[in-house]
Amino acid sequence: MNQVVIYTKRTCPYCIRALELLDSKKVVYQEIRIDQHPEKRSEMEHRSQRKTVPQIFIGDTHVGGCDDLFLLEEKGELDTLLQHK
């Protein structure tokens, strides 16, 4: 399974939704809380070219945010991306 990294903030409702979807699929992920580790914000912005959370990466693919993750799920492409090596 591809490594999943998600940059979040505790109070972000979109982060919570994205994490709930990943949890419902039993995905193991690395959550990087930029509210707890503000030095990781610049890393997130550099990797994603975006300033908002969540920012989700599956393997080498930048998925985007919560809406992008749910769109992949609706299209039936999320499981394939998670399994692709």
Its pTM stands at: 0.95
| pLDDT reported for residue 1 | 74
23-48 pLDDT tens trace: 999 999 999 999 999 999 999 999 99
* E strand or H helix at 23: helix 13-24
DSSP 45-60: HHHHS--SS-EEEETT
- How many other CB atoms sit within 10 Å of the CB of residue 45? 15
Pairing of strands 29-33, 4-8: parallel
Average pLDDT over residues 47-67: 97
pLDDT band, residue 18 (cuts 50/70/90): very high
Which domains does the chain show, CATH number per domain? 4-83 (3.40.30.10)
